[in-house]
Amino acid sequence: MNEHLAAALVGFVSCGAGGALTPYLIRVLPEPPPVPEAEEGVEPTAAQQARLEEPPKELYADLGRRPRLGIVAAAVSAVAGAGVGAAYGWHWLLALLLALVPVGTLLGIVDHRTRLLPSVVVLPATLVALAYGGLRWATTGHADDLVRGAVFLVVVRTVFWLLWFIRQAGMGFGDVRLSALLGCVLGYAGGVPLLVGLYAAFLLFAVPGLVVAIAKRDRKVLKRAYPFGPFLLFGAWLGLVAGEPLVAALWG
């Protein structure tokens, strides 16, 4: 059997099984603390004002009990895992990618429903990604992959932190944390997947809103808060599975 087909089958089965655990994992997430109110006589920050104006967040316990959530999460994870397996075959990066696909599915669902990216998931996943690079260094004696992943983690997180700092209401700090994880993983894959993944995320996020704003002739559409995490995750997946072939087709 072709190694890429075999890896795709492994990705389909393993990630599908991991995705099926999503409802349970969401139910055991600690609920986020309430938004602190501004002190009397003190103007709330832009981020506080934006969150205070939002409708109440869906509780993780309720989200985890939504009908057919497990089926949807398993299907999304299985397809994403198969795509990664087909793209990378038995590459050293495959084990990390297949482990993170169900994590990305969970984060995408949670952010889509609650506009929150729980740090209790994102931060350990980032440490796992760094540790995987360290294990690669320990077993091969070459630190190139770890250095590249760490450098891109810092660079991408810094860029997202600046975007968050400049306009806090437009990007949550959870997106900054997630960008560090994706910067590390995409950095392992290479510069092309990283650039394609981030460009695709911003493009997929911006274009639909712009089209709706033009169609409705309502600029307020562009100022509403939308979850960016699912676009970051999907863009990263596109960068991993299609970045190199896309660039080769366009500029080869």
pLDDT tens-digit map of 46-82: 555 555 556 678 899 999 999 999 999 999 999 999 9
Question: What is the average per-residue pLDDT within 146-150?
Answer: 95
Range(s) of the domain holding residue 130: 3-251
Question: What is the average per-residue pLDDT within 160-187?
Answer: 87
Q: Which residues contact 227 (CB under 8 A, 6 or more apart)?
A: 111, 112, 115
Question: What is the average per-residue pLDDT within 98-108?
Answer: 97
**Mean pLDDT, rounded, of the chain:** 86
Both structure tokens of 159: 């860029």
pTM: predicted TM-score of the whole model, two decimal places = 0.88
Q: Could you tell me the pLDDT band of residue 1, with boundaries at 50, 70 and 90?
A: low
The whole-number pLDDT of residue 35 equals: 60
Both structure tokens of 36: 């602190």
pLDDT at residue 169 is higher than 60: no
pLDDT at residue 161 is higher than 60: yes
Locate tokens 């190199």: which residue? 244
Residue 110 CB-density burial (10 A; 0-12 exposed, 13-18 middle, 19+ buried): buried
Total domains in the chain come to: 1
Residue 99 CB-density burial (10 A; 0-12 exposed, 13-18 middle, 19+ buried): middle
